Amino acid sequence: MTAAAPLRITVLGSGSVGLAVAASYAHAGQRVTLLARGSTVPQLRSEGVRVTGVCGDHHILPQRLKVCVADRPDLEDVACDILIVATKAYQVREALTELMQNTPKSSTPPPSPKAVLLLQNGWGSADEARAVLPPGVPVFSSIMMIGIERRSPIHVNVNVQASPIRVGTLYESAPELMRDAVQRGQFGFLPITYEHPVEPAILNKFLFNTCLNAIGAITRMTYGELVINVHTRHLIKEVADETIRVVRAERQAEVAADGASYVEQTLTPFVLPKAAAHRSSMLQDVEAGRRTEIDYLNGAVVRMGQRHGIATPANDAVASLVRARETGSST
């Protein structure tokens, strides 16, 4: 029996998540292109990607991973089987628009991926992707309970992976192509599964991130410190309670009974054995002087609360404090 041809997978974004996912799919034997920017491109082309941590120690050599400049993609890298978008949530719309505009115009109709997989935190990225992609391109979302830190331009370390990457769609049934891509990804070093329906898992991750990501960025505390400290624990309960009520109104979904029970029965038992030493990705962004995803997390809670007439003072305060840290000023 002839082995199936490798899937053509393009990863848009060369941050920590993009490097790890691209390397895992290359390790699984797929034909992977990484669309990167800036001074890291020459080093990635010459040295490849190294991923260490709880997933093992893996060095993907340059021969196994094609690296292109993001604003000068090859035709085949846009007309791929799966386009994996590994940018920050606030970059999704612009990055996809730019990719479509910079595609070589030598073919008619213009090339587009067969399916798109988003790896962002928060709520709203899928709608933004659908707004700029050609009609008919299916968009898939994911949940990543994984902590990754950048060690160098070509080296990332996976500190914790609490569960497999869970892939699914908020919109349509899954084409066999995405199921096939997930199945092939299981031969990589990052566990991945297909989940339908996926919205409950996405909403639970959204609640988790609104509770810990921003407050960790403000206080510089680890996840374990956040759930143990009496003051941050109280704030987390308030943030969770508001988020639960907003999600109930927006999506008619029940992610938890209330903030107190969520923190006591779900969040703390999960964090302490699995992720106590983890520092939030938003804290890493703030310390590096990068823009955060606050508008897709606690900021999204505030906007949805306004839409439904639900007060969200804790989320509003947390979002404002993160924005203050982003700008470094009171303006």
As a whole number of angstroms, the distance between CA 94 and CA 260 comes to 38
Q: pLDDT category, 173, cuts 50, 70, 90?
A: low
Residue pair 114/80 in contact by the 8 Å Cβ criterion: yes
pLDDT band at 293 (very low <50, low <70, confident <90, very high): very high
DSSP-derived 3-state class of residue 126? helix
**Using 50, 70 and 90 to split pLDDT, how confident is the model at 2?**
low
Specify whether the CB–CB gap between 232 and 271 falls below 8 A. Answer: no
pLDDT for the residue 327: 81
Q: CB-based contacts of 8: which residues, under 8 Å, 6+ apart? A: 30, 31, 33, 76, 77, 80, 81, 82
In this predicted structure, what is the pLDDT of residue 251? 94
Instruction: Report residue 160: phi and psi, to 5°.
Output: -155, 140
- Cα angle 171, 177, 180 (rounded to 5 degrees) comes to 115
199-249, pLDDT tens digit by residue?
999 999 999 999 999 999 999 999 999 999 999 999 999 999 999 999 999
Annotate 300-314 with DSSP letters as a single string: HHHHHHHHHT---HH
Q: Which one has a higher pLDDT value, 172 or 194?
A: 194
Structure confidence at residue 170 (pLDDT): 82
CB 251 within 8 A of CB 308: no
> Helix-strand-coil percent breakdown of the chain, rounded to 5?
50, 15, 35
Is the Cβ–Cβ distance between 35 and 68 less than 8 Å?
yes
Structure tokens of 2? 């002839």
CB 129 within 8 A of CB 116: yes
Structure tokens at 243: 């988020």
- How high is the pLDDT of residue 168? 93
Q: Which residue has the tokens 């935190």?
A: 121
Cα 147 from Cα 159, distance rounded (Å): 5
Q: Whole-number mean pLDDT of the chain?
A: 92
Residue 257, classed as helix, strand or coil, is coil
All domains of the chain in start order, with CATH? 8-195 (3.40.50.720), 200-327 (1.10.1040.10)
Structure tokens at 168: 């699914």
Helix pair angle (298-308, 230-251), 10° resolution: 50
Q: What is the crossing angle of helices 313-327 and 199-219, to 10°?
A: 60
